[in-house]
Amino acid sequence: MDWLNAIVQGILLGGLYAMFATGLSLIFGVMRLVNIAHGDLIVLASFLALAVVEGFAMHPLVSLVVVVPAMAAFGYVLQRGMLNLTLGRDILPPLLVTFGLSVIIQNALLETFSADSQRLQAGALETASLTIADGFSIGVLPLIVFLAAIGIIWGLQTVFYRTALGRAFRATSDDATTARLMGIDNGHVFALAMAVALAVVAVAGVFLAIRTNFDPSIGPARLLFAFEAVIIGGLGNLWGTLVGGIILGVAQAIGAQINPGWQLLAGHIAFLVVLVIRPQGLFPKMQG
Amino acid sequence: MTPPPDTPRPATPLLETRGLEAFYGDFQALFGIDFTVGEGETVAIIGSNGAGKSTFLKSITGLIANDKDAIRYEGGAIGSLPAHRVVRLGIAMVPEGRRLFPSLSVEENLLIGATAKRRGTWTLDSVYDLFPILKERRHNPGTALSGGQQQMVAVGRALMANPRLLLCDEISLGLAPVVIKDIYAAVPRITREGTTVVVVEQDINQAMAVADRVYCFQEGRVSLEGRPGALSREQITAAYFGM
């Protein structure tokens, strides 16, 4: 039963990792930009939620109403005002600039909120559980996170494959120059993609803040999990990213069952195994 | 230096360039191109590889930055406009090598051509009417078609922007003669619907057959200009090879 519990926890944790990874995958897919600040943006969303919850005395999940639009708007401005300028033939400028952004975000959060560990209180939701069978139950909150991840990915797939905006995303990703010939304003499309990605980051940040203790420094580790989930799942495939997240979560859970100190290592080993056996990922849809 | 034209110029040109220059970094590709096309005309540009024909079209559509006043369209200076603004004004290009979007189906490729949201006769239905084979393959990925069919998609995609001026960059490249004939058979229909067409063509015979006027480019300059009927083989050969 312990093992079953562990694996199920791992699957549900995979939903959170998939949520971390979705924004990263989207940005790389549309504009070939690797956002080193991605994990820190998740933590930024967590602290934004903290400020909103403390300022307006609302439930963390209600803070989504403020945090999601705020992060989306920030994403649009960030892309249009700064990151668009780094895009070009060279892969280095976006990496350097987003690395700098990562440092700035961490230190700004440190200045504003101190290094204290924080946590968002979600009340009864945190400990509520559903009993599936004798001795086997799953937490309501992890289940909500998992379902939210599925919902977000389903929503993004719908946008990508059934809307004009999604067509513009896919066309710009294929061939940015010819997309301009169609009348697509690349700067605007990239900014919209970043806005969508940061909206997802906002949801991930709020759920992270409820689930674990967070402080300004935990961003890079989230980036690593997001990266691993994307690579395991395969580039350019959002459902693949969900699978990647689940595999990572389950690996960590199994590792923790064997020995609590092996949790993170088990995840990294799973990532390395996939990288060695199938470097393009399990369900790749595009070349890097 | 542009040789004096032996044809009367169109009254009010739809598009004209004066002394147009174009650079790729330090490399100069165009040296003072004077060019006009009037509404309803079909103009062909011929020339060998590297003559600057594609560079010229890219300059007009805004993929290459130029001097603002060097390109005038409908009387306005558009030389420095970015590409996504130029197509909204009514200039669409069928790019060299077709450049369909592989992630999009045939129909989605056509639909994205309409991003500029210009009103006109060209809709999905009228494009399918022009190229019926595409309707059968509308949900196939754009790149799963034969070369000729892909060229039809590329032309249809440009038409979906309902352009006043359609620029075709080497649409015969890599296609069998029978297929080229099929595609060029669509040009009269396109001009009948009110679109002015400029074609860049490697195939001189095809260019002469479809055009009202022909320009020959040679190493970034106009080396010859005139009506197909008024130009001799010798004149064309000399202009083409810069002799």
Contact A181 B93 (CB under 8 A): yes
CB B148 within 8 A of CB B137: no
Tokens of A191: 């900014």
Task: Name which of A120-129, A152-161, B204-213, B217-226 the model is least confident about.
Answer: A120-129
The CB-based long-range contact list for A240-243 (8 Å cut-off, 24+ gap) reads: A240/A281, A240/A282, A240/A283, A240/A284, A240/A285, A241/A18, A241/A21, A241/A22, A241/A25, A241/A153, A242/A14, A242/A15, A242/A18, A242/A149, A242/A150, A242/A153, A243/A282, A243/A283
Predicted confidence at residue B6, as pLDDT, reads 55
User: For residue A138, what pLDDT band results from cuts at 50, 70 and 90?
Assistant: confident
pTM: 0.89
B25-37 residues labelled b (16+ CB within 10 A) or e (exposed):
eeeebbeebbbbb
User: For residue B93, what pLDDT band results from cuts at 50, 70 and 90?
Assistant: very high
Predicted confidence at residue A235, as pLDDT, reads 83
pLDDT at B96 over 50: yes
Tell me the shortest Cα–Cα distance from B93 to chain A, in angstroms: 7
Residue in A181, A185, A235 to test binding to B, most B beta-carbons within 10 Å: A181
Predicted confidence at residue B8, as pLDDT, reads 56
Interval A42-94: pLDDT, tens: 999 999 999 999 999 899 999 999 999 999 999 999 999 999 999 988 889 99
The CB-based long-range contact list for B99-102 (8 Å cut-off, 24+ gap) reads: B99/A175, B99/A178, B99/B154, B100/B142, B100/B143, B100/B150, B100/B153, B100/B154, B100/B157, B101/A170, B101/A171, B101/A174, B101/A175, B101/A178, B101/A179, B101/B142, B102/A174, B102/B141, B102/B142, B102/B143
Region A270-282: mean pLDDT is: 92
Region B111-130: mean pLDDT is: 94
Interval A231-254: pLDDT, tens: 999 888 899 999 999 999 999 999
Could you tell me what percent of chain A has a pLDDT over 90? 82
CB B167 within 8 A of CB B155: no
pLDDT at A213 over 50: yes
Region B91-120: mean pLDDT is: 94
Residue in B59, B91, B101 to test binding to A, most A beta-carbons within 10 Å: B101
Helices A164-174 and A140-162: crossing angle in degrees, nearest 10, is: 80
Contact B115 A168 (CB under 8 A): yes
Tell me the shortest Cα–Cα distance from A28 to chain B, in angstroms: 16
Question: Cβ of A245: how many Cβ atoms within 10 Å?
Answer: 31
Contact A167 B116 (CB under 8 A): no
User: For residue A288, what pLDDT band results from cuts at 50, 70 and 90?
Assistant: very low
Q: Which residue has the higher pLDDT, B3 or A185?
A: A185
d(CA A103, CA A83): 16
Question: Cβ of A134: how many Cβ atoms within 10 Å?
Answer: 7
A183 to chain B: closest CA residue:
B84
Question: CA B185: distance to chain centroid?
Answer: 16
Distances in Å between the Cα of A70 and the Cα atoms of A66, A152, A198, B170 are 6, 18, 9, 48
Predicted confidence at residue B2, as pLDDT, reads 54
User: For residue B164, what pLDDT band results from cuts at 50, 70 and 90?
Assistant: very high
Please, what is the average pLDDT of chain A? 93
Task: Name which of A6-20, B1-15, B75-89 the model is least confident about.
Answer: B1-15
| Residue at B46: amino acid letter | I
Which residue in the set A174, A180, A186 is minimally distant from B101, CB to CB? Answer: A174
Which residue in the set B102, B104, B116 is minimally distant from A183, CB to CB? Answer: B116
Q: Which residue has the higher pLDDT, A126 or A40?
A: A40
Contact A175 B101 (CB under 8 A): yes
Region A265-269: mean pLDDT is: 95
pLDDT at B10 over 60: no
CB B172 within 8 A of CB B200: no
Task: Name which of A110-119, A127-136, A144-153 the model is least confident about.
Answer: A127-136
Contact A182 B99 (CB under 8 A): no
Predicted confidence at residue B9, as pLDDT, reads 53
Tokens of A284: 């790749």
Predicted confidence at residue A286, as pLDDT, reads 64
B165, HSE (Cβ side, Cα atoms, 13 Å): 24
Q: Who's near A28: CB < 8 A, 6+ residues apart?
A: A34, A35, A230, A235
CB A251 within 8 A of CB A270: yes
Residue in A159, A160, A161, A182 to test binding to B, most B beta-carbons within 10 Å: A182
Chain A residues within 8 A (CB-CB) of chain B?
Answer: 164, 167-168, 170-171, 173-175, 177-186
Predicted confidence at residue B7, as pLDDT, reads 55
Interval A6-50: pLDDT, tens: 899 899 999 999 999 999 999 998 998 999 999 999 999 999 999
- Using the structure block, give the residue that is written with the tokens 């860049």: B200
Q: What value does the CA radius of gyration of chain B take, rounded to a whole number of Å?
A: 17
Tokens of B64: 């290459």
Could you tell me what percent of chain B has a pLDDT over 90? 78
Which residue in the set B95, B103, B104 is minimally distant from A181, CB to CB? Answer: B95
pLDDT at B1 over 60: no
Region B97-123: mean pLDDT is: 94
